[in-house]
């Protein structure tokens, strides 16, 4: 068995082992990480030998940690990362490079259509009719996108939204409300088979699916990292928020909204951002939570997007594509029957 796990923002961990009567044998751990003392590597392998295959990553990590020499230093990886690599081997997880990635980056679309396209493309990937896809959004109108389980009236000031011409839509993933404006926002979605995140916890998969973004931002001069559960941030402030939806049919939707620029006063007028939400951030103002990429990079929005796409293409490969006519028709039908309706938008009043 062979399993690999690239630690988000860290190093590659590789685990090879045999199976004998439901237990690991001949386990060997390798990678480009740093480890002191040297003999700790043998200890990690020995801790895996004889381990039953049903253990989860956290249980594997506990077994490794219990046997490591006092003072062991692990840089770029952890005992849990080894556990994830083991689980990925046992679940026959896929690698990014196993797929023929497609890129969709088209003309601006209405907010409700974006919500519908996300659902349709995730289902298409689950059914095997579409390869894994990166879609970069362009917005035709300002919007507030609320999470699947949020209360509409608790999150949005309806009168302020009307006054500013802001459309309110609800997505199929959970998480918090996002304020978006054309030209001020960078949004993308990944539609992937669930095999890509096999062996990972829900939380680990967030950082794993956005590790490429951290690399792209680094090349733009922005030192960013993942802030659990679902934020991409820097020492200057929050850059982006992520959300996920997993379909039982076998695919994952992972989408991210990044702030290129922001009208903070308008955002605060439209969104009801309460003290409770800010209390765990160590700040008193929502304005201080978000630090746009325009200020951090000094680059035009289009160039930031182009360089992000180029980074993904260089790392995993990427073939230019478009929405299929059938996919678009299906999305438009769902706007009429679901995403553009008051029943869906206000399903949690």
Q: What value, to the nearest 5°, has the Cα angle with vertex 39 and ends 33 and 43?
A: 90
Task: List pLDDT tens digits, range 216-264.
Answer: 999 999 999 988 889 999 988 899 999 999 999 999 999 999 999 999 8
Distance in angstroms (rounded) separating the CA atoms of residues 151 and 345: 10
Task: List pLDDT tens digits, range 95-118.
Answer: 999 999 999 999 999 999 999 999
SS3 assignment for 309-344? HHHHHHHHCCEEECCCHHHHHHHHHHHHHHHCCHHH
Task: List pLDDT tens digits, range 146-185.
Answer: 999 999 999 999 999 999 999 999 999 999 999 999 999 9
155: its two tokens: 């999150």
216: its two tokens: 């792209």
Q: What is the DSSP letter of 69?
A: P
Q: What is the DSSP letter of 67?
A: H
How, if at all, do strands 102-105 and 319-321 pair?
parallel
Q: Write out the residue limits of the CATH 3.30.930.10 domain(s) in the chain.
A: 96-345
Q: Write out the residue limits of the CATH 3.30.390.50 domain(s) in the chain.
A: 2-90
pLDDT above 90 as % of the chain: 89
- Sequence-ordered list of residues with C-beta below 8 angstroms from that of 224, at least 6 positions apart, any chain: 213, 214, 217, 218, 232, 233, 234, 239
Q: Which CATH superfamily is domain 2-90 in?
A: CO dehydrogenase flavoprotein, C-terminal domain (3.30.390.50)
Q: How far is CA 210 from the centre of its chain?
A: 5
211: its two tokens: 């590790």
- Assigned CATH topology for domain 96-345: BirA Bifunctional Protein; domain 2 (3.30.930)
**Predicted pLDDT of residue 287:** 53
For 199-224, letters b (16+ CB in 10 Å) and e give bbeeebbbbbbbbbbbbbbeebebeb
Q: Which of 182, 98, 106, 147 is nearest to 253 (CA)?
A: 147
* DSSP state letters, 11-30: -EEEEEEEEETTEEEEEEEE
pTM value?
Answer: 0.90
277 compared with 183, residue with greater pLDDT: 183
Quick one: pLDDT band at residue 284, thresholds 50, 70, 90? very low
């Amino acid at each position: 068995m062979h399993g690999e796990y690239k630690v988000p923002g860290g190093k590659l961990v590789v685990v090879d082992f045999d199976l004998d009567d439901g237990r690991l044998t001949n386990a060997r751990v390798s990678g480009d990480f740093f480890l002191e003392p040297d003999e700790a590597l043998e200890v990690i392998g020995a801790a895996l030998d004889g381990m039953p295959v049903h253990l989860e990553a956290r249980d594997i990590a506990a077994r490794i940690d219990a046997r490591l020499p006092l003072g062991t230093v692990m840089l770029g990886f952890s005992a849990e990362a080894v556990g994830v690599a083991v689980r990925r081997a046992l679940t026959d997880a896929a690698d990014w490079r196993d797929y023929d990635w497609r890129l969709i980056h088209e003309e601006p679309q209405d907010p409700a259509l974006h919500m519908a396209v996300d659902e349709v493309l995730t289902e298409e990937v689950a059914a095997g009719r579409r390869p894994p896809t990166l879609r970069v959004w362009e917005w035709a109108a300002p919007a507030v996108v609320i999470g699947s389980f949020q209360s509409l009236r608790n999150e949005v000031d309806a009168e302020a939204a009307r006054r500013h011409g802001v459309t309110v839509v609800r997505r199929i993933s959970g998480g918090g409300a996002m304020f978006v404006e054309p030209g001020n926002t960078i949004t993308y979605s990944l539609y992937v088979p669930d095999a890509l995140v096999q062996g990972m916890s829900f939380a680990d998969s967030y950082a794993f699916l956005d590790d490429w973004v951290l690399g792209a931002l680094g090349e733009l001069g922005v030192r960013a990292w993942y802030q659990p559960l679902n934020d991409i941030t820097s020492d200057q402030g929050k850059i982006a928020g992520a959300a996920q939806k997993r379909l039982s049919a076998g695919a994952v939707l992972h989408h991210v909204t990044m702030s290129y620029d922001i009208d903070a006063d308008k955002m605060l007028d439209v969104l009801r951002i309460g003290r409770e939400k800010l209390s765990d951030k160590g700040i008193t103002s929502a304005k201080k939570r978000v630090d746009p990429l325009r200020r951090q990079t000094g680059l035009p929005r289009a160039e930031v997007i182009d360089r992000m796409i180029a980074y993904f293409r260089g790392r995993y490969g990427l073939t230019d594509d478009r929405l299929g006519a059938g996919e678009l028709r299906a999305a438009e039908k769902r706007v009429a029957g679901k995403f553009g309706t008051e029943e869906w938008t206000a399903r949690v009043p």
